[in-house]
Amino acid sequence: MAKLKLGPIADDKPVKVMVELPAALHRDLTAYAEILARDAGQRPADAPRLIVAMLERFIATDRGFASAKRSEGG
């Protein structure tokens, strides 16, 4: 089993996002979703849900952002 930074993606209400991705990034997102799904025993997530999960994880683990947010009172 691969050690990915993301865990299983919660089955939440889908959100529509319109974004243009480079083809190589889209291929990598698709491959990531397939590996994540295989390891979690789920169906692969679509790119927007995967992007949201990645952004949430990135923000949650960014110490500089957390520190700046605390100093701004947010």
Q: Where are the domains of the chain?
A: 46-73
Token pair 């799904």 is found at 37
Over the stretch 15-68, which tens digit does the pLDDT of each residue have? 676 889 999 999 999 999 999 999 888 898 888 888 888 998 998 998 888 888
What is the pLDDT, as a whole number, of residue 15?
A: 67
**Nearest C-alpha neighbor of 6 from the set 42, 36, 51, 26:** 36
For residues 53 and 74, is the Cβ–Cβ distance under 8 A?
no
- pLDDT class of 2 with cuts at 50, 70, 90: low
Distance CA 33, CA 25 (A): 12
Task: Tell me the whole-structure pTM to 2 decimals.
Answer: 0.67
